[in-house]
Amino acid sequence: MKTQTKTILEIIKYLALIGAIGFSIECGSQLISFIISFTNPEFAKKMYLANKSIFELRSLNLTYFYFTKSLVIVFAGLKAHIWYYLFDFLHKLKLKNPFTDEVATKIQTISYLLLSLWIMAEIGNGYFNYVSKHTDIDLVNHFNHEEYFFMAGIVYIIAQIFKRGVELQEENELTV
C-alpha cells in the first residue's frame, strides 16, 4: 500500500510538470503573438493558439485588443504557475512526515491560487461580454472557469484537514 501511494504521487508529480510545461508554452505563445502583433499582425494571427476574434479587435480598437490579449496571457501564466507550484510541492513533500505547517500552508496557497484563477476568469468573461456588446465581434468565451471555484474549495478543505493533523501531531508530541 505504501509503495502504491509513493508511485501514484510520483506519477502525479510528473503530470503536474507536464501541465506546467504545457501552460507555459500556451502563455509563451500568447505573449510572442502579442509582441509580434505590434509589427506584423497578419503573421501573429497565424501563430499557435492565436484567437482570430481577438485579432479582429486590433483593427477596431487597440485598447480593447491590448487589454484582451493581456488577460489571456496572464490567465495562461497563472495556470502555468499553479501547475509548477503543485510540482514543486510534490517534489518537496516528505511522505514519512506529511503533516507539517509547511505542507498545510502550501496546500492552502494552492487553494488561494485556484480562487485567484476563478476570480480572474470571472473578470475576463465579464470583460469579453462587455467588448462583445460594444463591438460587432463575438469573442469566444475563452475562460472556462466554473471548475476553478469548485477545486479551490476542495483544496481549501484539504488544507484545513492538514492543519488539524499538524495540531494533533503537535499535541501528541507534547503529551509524550
Domain ranges within the chain, ordered by starting residue: 2-175
pLDDT at 162 over 60: yes
Q: Would you say 149 and 108 are in contact if contact means Cβ atoms under 8 Å apart?
A: no
Tens-digit pLDDT profile for residues 34-55: 888 888 877 877 777 667 777 7
pLDDT of residue 170: 81
DSSP letter string, 28-87: HHHHHHHHHTTT-HHHHHTSTT--HHHHHHHHH-HHHHHHHHHHHHHHHHHHHHHHHHHH
Per-residue exposure over 69-80, b if at least 16 CB sit within 10 Å of its own CB, e if not = bebbbebbbbbb
Q: What is the mean pLDDT of residues 99-112?
A: 88
What crossing angle do the helices spanning 62-92 and 2-36 adopt, rounded to 10°? 160
Instruction: Residue 135: count other Cβ atoms within 10 Å of its Cβ.
Output: 15
Rg of the chain in Å (alpha carbons): 21
Length of the chain: 176
Confidence of residue 166 (pLDDT cuts 50, 70, 90): confident
pLDDT at 82 over 90: yes
- Output the average pLDDT for the chain: 84
Q: What is the mean pLDDT of residues 124-153?
A: 80
Instruction: Residue 2: count other Cβ atoms within 10 Å of its Cβ.
Output: 7
- Taking the model in full, what pTM does it have? 0.84
135 grid coordinates: 463591438
Distance, CA of 69 to CA of 47 (rounded, Å): 14
10 grid coordinates: 510520483
